[in-house]
Chains A and B, each alone.
Chain A
């Protein structure tokens, strides 16, 4: 399991730069656009996304990773990041992948809650051959409520009582706007109207998907707190699943 070669760069307008990394695979007909998970799950998953993208590129699928505006190494502040902003980023990232990898069709691999804005966005993009969710969040309201509870726990553990109660618009350590919370709380996973929905999960069910890839029990988790250790290590079984996904994507 390793990090292959890839090219970092900026995509989008100069005033709104997005950090991106292309794992190239010349001669491909289909590419993979990788949407990172959100908030504290994003840094926890960074290494995994790099290794999965490397594996997909080895399998002949060019893969573009990127950071949403207001997150990671991209420009912008955290409270500028919401559904509208994400949709704009997806437009930019899709165009960049198609241009840089010379592919007409794209499979979107959305990690965790990224699938919520992606499933409505995909309807406007016939070049999306399939929308895949890696351990997708199905119920945005439940997810946001869970994060708010986890955030309260983190603050109680980290701070004295007075400071823990401070209202500061941060959620899981990241500034978030009221619009962000509203957007995600109102969202539920729905299959796109055009493209098939695939899911990669540890268990069946939970989403009305056309295809399910079963993740092994030891697949990294990103939804159990802010520590990074549980999210780092990839097994051979997991890469078998990635290879199956690659096979399906090439045929999409």
Chain B
């Protein structure tokens, strides 16, 4: 069942709450990604809602200020709007605990919300924060060597023209809302200290900063190996899960993760 929820100043922010009211798992909150409206890239958020609904998970998708149907609201940025969404759902008695996230900038929203808000029990980070480091460079060199030798000189010239950069400086820091690597490691440790669950998925769509699964451990330190942290790297899948096989793989993984991360106790409430 879907309901429309109005929240924020004068109720000018709109979200769609999907799923069974009897659900006991944390609600998955999906802020819109970038400029794409709340239904998600290629209606992905709607498909997530349908799939997770089958596992008794409610979802809440909404447009951030200035995106989709939402007006620009003075003093309300994406961070504040996400917090308002959680406040609203809690005040309405819909949920006390949440998972926040989505694709790209929505993943960043999820990370920030999890770090800042103890009500956030987990995050779904699709092409979210990560840092390059030695494994990225290794993967890049391996990729060059896999090409015909006649292309190597051109690649070398281009690389020398780019200059050197700090190994852990995120390439996309200019337009993503990311912590430093040291901060990210500390933040993950803090999240795990309060028993949060995290799902990370990286795709070929972020090949400018992620090319090897071993980067995950380098990026996040000891926390990356915690059983409450799940990471997939799908180098054959694109950033917005355009084709059916990509979509289905994500939905399968998300459903399985949710059921494992937030199992239901006997009696129906979640044990996460």
Contacts and interface: CB of A to CB of B under 8 A. Distances in A.
Interface string B228-254: 000000001010101111100000000
Contacts of A228: 34-36
Interface stretch (B52-60, B67-75, B146-154, B264-272): B67-75
A26 interface: no
Interface in A1-55: 2-3, 6, 8-10, 17, 19, 21, 40, 43, 46-47, 50
Interface string B25-64: 0000000001111110111001000000000000000000
B245 A168 contact: yes
B80 interface: no
Max chain A C-beta neighbours (<10 A), residue from B41, B69, B71, B245: B69
A163 B68 contact: no
A3 B38 CA distance: 16
Chain B, interface size: which category? 20 to 34
Contacts of B189: none
Contacts of B43: 43, 71-72, 78, 174
A232 B39 CA distance: 17
Contact of B245 (A73, A78, A166, A173): A166
A50 B36 CA distance: 14
Contact of A158 (B2, B72, B238): B238
B6 to A, nearest CB: 8
Interface string B1-22: 0101010000000101000000
A69 B33 CA distance: 23
Contacts of B14: 8
B243 A159 contact: yes
Nearest to A53: B69
A52 to B, nearest CB: 13
Contact of B243 (A75, A163, A232): A163
Contact of A163 (B41, B67, B70, B245): B245
A50 B69 contact: yes
A159 B238 contact: yes
B242 A155 contact: yes
B205 to A, nearest CB: 8
A170 B69 contact: no
Interface residues of A, number: 35
Contacts of B39: 43, 72-73
A230 to B, nearest CB: 11
Nearest to B61: A73
A47 B46 CA distance: 19
A154 interface: yes
Nearest to A167: B244
A232 B37 CA distance: 12
Given A47-B67, A50-B69, A168-B244, A173 B35 contact: no
Contacts of B242: 154-155, 158, 170, 173
Nearest to A175: B244
A135 B189 CA distance: 53
A224 interface: no
Contact of B244 (A75, A166, A229): A166
Contacts of A170: 242-244
A163 B236 contact: yes
Given A73-B39, A160-B236, A174-B42, A10 B243 contact: no
A79 to B, nearest CB: 11
A173 to B, nearest CB: 3
A154 B71 CA distance: 32
Nearest to B35: A228
A52 B96 CA distance: 38
Interface of A: 2-3, 6, 8-10, 17, 19, 21, 40, 43, 46-47, 50, 71-73, 75, 78, 154-155, 158-160, 163, 166, 168-170, 173-175, 228-229, 232
15 contacts: A8-B4, A10-B4, A19-B4, A40-B42, A43-B37, A43-B43, A47-B67, A75-B2, A158-B238, A163-B243, A168-B244, A170-B242, A173-B41, A173-B42, A175-B244
